[in-house]
Amino acid sequence: MTLARQLIAERRARLSAEHLLILKQAELSLANQKLGLRAEGLSVEVDTVCSQNEQVISDLGADTQQVQIAEQRLSLALEILKNGFAVFDTSSRLLIANLAYFSIFDGLRAMRLSVSYSDILSFVTQESIVDIGYWGSAQWWQIMLQRWQALQPKPKNIKFWNGQMLRLIDQGGSTESYC
């Protein structure tokens, strides 16, 4: 191959490479434009999501404050009641109770929120808080537990160690029970 032919071949290769470079630069420029548009779109989406998030946080704060106010009102209302009042969850654990309810147990330390109804029955028999009459402790506990588990337990009069009487009215619900 002669020098002239070599130079022509190299020139053609260089022109071909320059042409390919121009094409790749155009593709790169187009890709950069698309990326820029997508970045702008994402920026708008991020701004929208941030704005919505701020609104949700604001609404949640307002709702939380309203729940706290409602809880305070409920607590005050329950404490005004002269009768004992308690709410149990679906696992028969004490969720809420007023002072009148707790006073029945005369400061028994085991009586606290989250105690099970079954344990409460055990406490009142072990501590002789209730007069179980001719029933044995285990028998009375079983009767009371069966009553509790009934769909609509009938009211029951309970006599305390000091002769005072209490009318026990349980109202079951779909999620909680009231005593």
Q: What is the mean pLDDT of the chain?
A: 87
* C-alpha distances out from residue 177 to 21, 89, 95, 103, 116, Å: 78, 6, 10, 20, 12
Domain ranges (residues) in the chain: 1-80, 82-178
Tokens of 26: 């155009």
| pLDDT, tens digit, 9 for 90 and up, residues 84-125 | 889 999 999 999 999 888 888 877 888 999 999 999 999 888
| pLDDT, tens digit, 9 for 90 and up, residues 140-168 | 999 999 999 888 888 989 888 888 888 88
Give residue 121's pLDDT.
Answer: 92
- Are 104 and 82 spatial neighbours (Cβ–Cβ below 8 Å)? no
167-178 mean pLDDT: 67
Q: φ and ψ at 87, to 5 degrees?
A: -125, 130
Does the pLDDT value for residue 174 go beyond 60? no
The rounded distance, in Å, linking the Cα atoms of 38 and 72 is: 50
Distance of CA 59 to the CA centre of its chain: 17
* C-alpha distances out from residue 124 to 120, 130, 138, 157, 172, Å: 6, 6, 12, 15, 21
* Number of neighbouring beta carbons within 10 Å of residue 156: 13
How are beta strands 86-88 and 165-168 bridged, if at all? unpaired
- CATH 3.30.450 at 82-178, yes or no: yes
Q: φ and ψ at 104, to 5 degrees?
A: -60, -30
Give residue 173's pLDDT.
Answer: 57
